[in-house]
């Protein structure tokens, strides 16, 4: 296809989508594969980081206007407007990422193994009652005199 034919087709695809037809119907109507439709959509409405930010800002502005209208009605006693206001706030928080779950990482740290008080008392008693065992441990466990003696 030539460039002008492709551009005309893309414009027709855009009109069909904007008029409310589903993507699947448009795809069948114009004989496009899913990949081809993705290419057409990317050409028609490119979405980069700046475009996403523009969309978020636009939606925040619209939600803010809606909130003002329904919040006033809610204050006047309209329960449905109150519920709608809360839903708008929820959507706004979701859009801005304020509803993200707080993540708490628990970390279990085992303290260094310290000799318990009970073990120290037991060791002191054993040193007093069996000094020969502890003398061997001090000598390196082989019964020879310490290296400095």
Q: What is the C-alpha to C-alpha distance for residues 40 and 27, in angstroms, rounded to an integer?
A: 10
pLDDT at position 107 is 75
pTM as predicted:
0.45
Tokens 């003398």 sit at which residue? 135
Chain segment 79-127, per-residue pLDDT in tens: 999 999 999 999 999 888 887 776 677 777 777 778 888 888 998 998 8
Give the separation between CA 133 and CA 123, rounded to whole angstroms. 11
Q: Is 61 left (phi over 0), alpha (psi -120 to 50) or beta?
A: alpha
pLDDT in tens, 22-77: 889 999 999 999 899 988 888 888 888 888 888 889 999 999 999 999 999 999 99
Q: HSE (CB half, 13 Å, CA atoms) of 11?
A: 6
Residue 80 phi/psi, 5-degree rounding, is -65, -35
């Amino acid at each position: 296809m030539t460039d002008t034919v492709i551009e005309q087709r893309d414009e027709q695809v855009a009109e069909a989508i904007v008029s409310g037809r589903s993507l699947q119907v448009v795809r069948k109507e114009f004989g496009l594969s899913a990949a081809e439709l993705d290419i057409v959509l990317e050409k028609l409405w490119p979405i980069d980081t700046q475009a996403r930010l523009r969309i978020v800002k636009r939606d925040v502005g619209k939600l803010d206007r809606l909130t003002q209208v329904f919040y006033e009605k809610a204050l006047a006693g309209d329960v449905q407007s109150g519920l709608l206001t809360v839903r708008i706030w929820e959507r706004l928080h979701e859009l801005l990422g304020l509803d993200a779950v707080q993540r708490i990482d628990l970390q279990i740290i085992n303290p260094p193994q310290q000799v318990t008080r009970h073990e120290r008392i037991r060791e002191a008693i054993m040193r007093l009652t069996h000094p020969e065992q502890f003398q061997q441990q001090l000598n390196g466990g082989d019964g020879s005199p310490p290296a400095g003696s």
